[in-house]
Structure 1
Amino acid sequence: MTSTDAATLASEVLDKAVPARPISSGGDHRSWWIGKHHVLRWTPDPSTSQRLQREIALRRWLPQHLHAPVPTAVADGTWHGHRWVLDERLPGHDLDEGPFTARTHTDLVQLLSDLAHCAVTDVTAMGVPTRSLPDLPQLLEAGLAAHRALGIERPLTPPATTDVSGHGGKHAPVLVHADVKSEHLLVDATGQLSGVLDWSDAAVGEVSLDVEGLVITVGAQKATQIAHQADIPATALKRGVLLARCHTAMRLDALLNRAEPSGPELLLRRQHDLAWN
């Protein structure tokens, strides 16, 4: 789908001529700003089409269970055999660009709490998959190796984790967004959470997966406070910090020492710093 195709499709749906401006293009999906008030997403292959169809169903269900807004679909369908969705554009700015206030903190506590109380049976019936934690002892070993390769000597064990075995302290699975990051969290001028975007990776798993995302978004200290106030079990909280510290080091090592394209260097450095602050 080209920008011209996107504009034509959206114009037909909205019954008026609207321009399309590319947002991003990648293996997961392609996105366009449609005028000032809408966003069009299209998936280029069958597997991501299925994920988008599942996401649309989940987003229709979520408003009854979350305080935070999620995108609302104006229309959806298929184009050349692959799924598309036209969403209303939510107001606000990426969390990196907006203020982090006491209201932001409170809203993120509420988000974690709301997700923990979503009925797992309901979302699995929609096809939301389960997601397991990585092998934690192996992850710890890889994280330590990455830190050594980066010339950083930092202990990843306490207070980062109390149980890296993965066998103790297991917790009931919950609905997790599983891709928490600044660009998926919108805030208004007061810091109020005005939208939670991109639910394509949503899964049923341990809440530590979302704690990890919070850590690389707002920092380990703030994320720990937020998770604690949301009544996240201490072991899951600490595992989330461990995930963030290991994964950020591994991605940075892959980019700097093996020339593997794991993300922009400035972003990776910032996320790694946040995992320790």
Structure 2
Amino acid sequence: MTQAPTPTADTVRRLVGSLLGGSTRPDVRPVAAGTGPATWWVGDRHVLRLAPDRDAAVRQRRELRLRELVRPYLPVAVPTSVAHGEWAPGLTYTLDAKVPGGSGEDHDVSALGEADLAALLTAVREVPVRQAETLGVPRSAPRSLEA
């Protein structure tokens, strides 16, 4: 297996520039510091997520399909992919429109945030199991939230 390239700000700028067009160089910065940043802020309107390996690419493809499946059942905003594809051979990306709010890592979750999360989980439960299975979501017995 070959080593995946490490994304740099220049790599991200070129990719985002080709996706969004325009003659300006987009403002990009990693969401979190680390050895191989996989999530980047793109200006104040987008988030770019790069799959660092093939397993992550499979999960990312499934996530995009799952988002579209659950969106009609959700009373809260979920990210919408503006563009997606491969940023390196076999490695996927998704450029998402940023949803309002901030990262749970940066902010305490408010009562409103807890209510949104409860609504999200309730809505996900409404998705027909057979539709979720076609996306590769494994079937498992329900678990008790209390446990």
Instruction: Please state which band the TM-score falls in when normalised by the shorter chain.
Output: 0.7 to 0.9
**1:2-81 alignment runs, 5 A limit:** 2-16=8-22, 17-24=25-32, 30-81=38-89
Alignment of 1:121-136 (within 5 A): 121-130=130-139
Q: 1:59 is paired with a residue of what secondary structure?
A: helix
Q: Tell me: CA distance 1:27–1:64, structure 2 relative to 1, closer, same or farther (3 Å).
A: farther
TM-score normalized with structure 1 length: 0.45
TM-score (norm 2): 0.80
SS in 1 for 2:138: coil
Give the gaps of 5 or more residues in structure 2.
Answer: 1-6
CA RMSD, 1 decimal: 2.4
Q: Distance in 2 between matches of 1:22 and 1:127?
A: 30
Task: Name the residue aligned to 2:128.
Answer: 119
Identity value in percent: 31
Equivalent pair of 1:29/1:41 in contact (CA under 8 Å): no
**Aligned match of 2:4:** none
- 1:213-232, aligned counterparts within 5 Å? none
Superposed counterparts of 1:73-152, under 5 Å: 73-81=81-89, 82-95=91-104, 97=107, 100-101=110-111, 103-130=112-139
Q: Within 5 Å, which residues of 2 pair with 1:165-244?
A: 173=141, 206=142, 208=143, 236-239=144-147
Distance 1:69 1:28 in 2: 28
User: How many residues end up aligned between the 2 structures?
Assistant: 137
Structure with greater Cα Rg: 1
Residue 64 of structure 1: how far off its partner (Å)? 0.6
8 Å Cα contact 2:69-2:127 kept in structure 1:
no
1:92 positional shift: 0.7
Q: Give a deviation string over 1:61-98, Cα, whole Å, max 9, x none.
A: 22111111110000000122110110011111234625
Query: Could you tell me whether the CA contact under 8 Å between 2:70 and 2:124 is conserved in 1?
Result: no
Distance 1:85 1:73 in 2: 6
Aligned equivalents of 1:5 and 1:40: distance in 2? Answer: 12
